[in-house]
Amino acid sequence: MHYISDTPTERVQMRIEFGTDRCTSAYVSKGANGATETLDIVDRDPNGAWIQVDIEKPKGGHEYTLMWHW
C-alpha cells in the first residue's frame, strides 16, 4: 500500500485486514529527497490477521510504502 503526503495532514492510518492468508512480517519504506529508509513502525496482530501503521504529521512529498510478507 502506497501513500504520498501532498496536503497538510495531522494523522495517516493505513490498515490492512487479511482473509484466510496471514501476514508473517511487515515494514514501511519511507522515501524523501532521493533517499529511502526502512521504518519499524508497523503494528501487527499476533496471528497475522491485520497490520496497521499510524503516521503523525507526515511531511509533504514524503512517500510511505507499507509492505508485507505472507
Predicted pLDDT at 58: 92
Q: How far is CA 39 from CA 6, 19, 20, 21, 67, in A?
A: 20, 25, 27, 24, 11
Domain that holds residue 22: 2-69
For the domain that residue 37 is a member of, what is the CATH number? Answer: 2.60.40
All three cell numbers of 43, joined, read: 503494528
pLDDT in tens, 5-57: 988 899 999 999 999 999 999 999 999 989 999 999 999 999 999 999 999 99
Per the structure, how many domains does the chain have?
Answer: 1
Q: Are strands 25-32 and 63-69 parallel, antiparallel or unpaired?
A: antiparallel
What is the pTM (predicted TM-score) of this model?
0.86
CB atoms within 10 A of CB 40: 7
